[in-house]
Amino acid sequence: MDGPTQPAPDPTRTAAMLDRLGEVAVRTGLNLAPNQELVITAPLDAVPLVRRITEHAYKAGAALVTTFFTDEVTRLARFRDAPDAAFDSAATWLADGIANAFRGGAARLAITGEYPALLSGQDPDRVARANRANARANQAALGLITSFAVNWNIIACATPSWARTLFPDLEENDAVARLWDAIFAASRLDGPDPVAAWRAHDQTLHARAALLNEARFAALHFRGPGTDLTVGLADGHAWLGGSGTAANGITCIPNIPTEEVFTTPHKDRVEGHVRSSKPLSYQGTLIDGIAVRFEAGRIVHAHASRGAEVLDRVLGTDEGARRLGEVALVPHSSPISRSGLLFQNTLFDENAASHIALGQAYASCMQGSKGLDTAALGARGANSSLIHIDWMIGSGEVDVDGITRSGAREPLMRAGEWSN
């Protein structure tokens, strides 16, 4: 007997939902201001979505929309045919131009959808060198984003290569349609009024962050299979979730979807061991089975069952790459977790589970951070690095306690769910 059949893709519905996603990205995610410029980065397969976003941006009064496209085929050609010395180079001129656009007030929109394992068959040393060169070139732009200098937003596009990875048993068109449906649902576009749905969800996240800010915990303690980790929190840390107001005065929601509340760990006060609960897709390489041990805030031992060489080179990027720049709490019952899908994409998987991030801290998660330089933020515990890489450590088997300055413990999560 044949198994259940999937409904045929509906191009009309997909087109309508793409328009919804474009509108939500511009009006809710970015909250684009009249006369503001917009810089978009996107894979080539995202052209239909980029066109919808561009239309909504100009309707919102954008002064100029500029898109930079990436292509998997030409990226692979570099690793196949370029001379070895080329992997220490990056388009610094382009990165500098984008950073200058942000300095001039342009908003930033990134569309993700890359093939999770694009570079898994390539030389790990070349992958690491290329990633390091790109990180150095984009350091200024990353700093402007992590300091929340401008309004920014990340959304996703269902690309054929990504869809085939998630649904290998489906025909390509069906796989893409299935992935689009998952993206639309996770992005809260299925209801009658997505803008109102995001407004209500944003209020929920803000309320949770407010409770954590009121508690003023000194540390968090994660316990679960392979995990016994204490994450000290930076002095003057601030919990955020949902929307935030950038330095340019515009309130935006940086990630669509988002289910997290997050803050800044103290770079020197992380102790214990932790195991990843989901694979990490990083720059075209899948890294799975991550297990690390921290001492005095620094990773002193690291292992991965897959992608270990790439992980090792990531940790060697700079001193800050072995320390934490973010800790985030996400309930196991989040819509993305309930979908049952492993998206192999950080934008989604980090919103299915509590997570930590190696590398650069967000200055916006520090009270009174305006005008403070890297040294001043570092003195309060904020980490500095060329990278910022989230990986998932939460699950339905992980408990989290908040630890007060006196050492008292309060349950925050049990079996991956909020305690209250």
- Which part of the chain is CATH 3.40.1830.10? 11-186
Measured at the CA of 320, the angle between CA 97 and CA 224, to 5 degrees, comes to 120
The torsion of the CA quartet 176, 134, 148, 144, rounded to 10 degrees, works out to: -140
Q: What is the pLDDT of residue 1?
A: 40
Q: What is the pLDDT of residue 8?
A: 65
**Cα–Cα distance measured from residue 347 to residue 258, given in angstroms and rounded to the nearest whole number:** 8
For 268, residues 6+ apart whose C-beta sits below 8 A from its C-beta are 232, 296, 297, 323, 381
330 within 8 A of 351, measured Cβ to Cβ: yes
Q: What is the pLDDT of residue 2?
A: 44
Q: What is the pLDDT of residue 6?
A: 58
Q: For the chain, what is the total number of helices (H) and then of strands (E)?
A: 13, 21
By DSSP bridging, strand 152-156 and strand 107-112 are parallel
Q: Mapping DSSP to helix (H, G, I), strand (E, B) and coil, where does residue 62 land?
A: coil
3-state helix vs strand vs coil in the chain, percent to 5: 40, 25, 35
Q: What is the pLDDT of residue 146?
A: 83
**Cα–Cα distance measured from residue 154 to residue 147, given in angstroms and rounded to the nearest whole number:** 16
Give the pair of three-digit tokens for residue 39. Answer: 């810089």
Element containing residue 291 per DSSP (H, E):
strand 291-295
Q: What is the pLDDT of residue 123?
A: 92
What is 11-186's CATH topology?
Thermophilic metalloprotease-like (3.40.1830)
Q: What is the pLDDT of residue 7?
A: 61
10-residue stretch averages of pLDDT, the chain, 420 residues long: 56 90 96 98 97 98 98 95 96 97 98 90 90 93 90 97 96 96 94 92 97 97 98 97 95 96 98 95 86 98 95 94 98 92 90 95 89 92 94 96 97 96
Give the pair of three-digit tokens for residue 315. Answer: 């940790």
Write the DSSP assignment of 216-267 as a string of letters.
T-SEEEEEETTEEEEEEEPTTB--EES-EE-TTS-EE-SBSS---EEEPEEE
Q: What is the pLDDT of residue 420?
A: 85
For 135, residues 6+ apart whose C-beta sits below 8 A from its C-beta are 142, 317, 386, 387
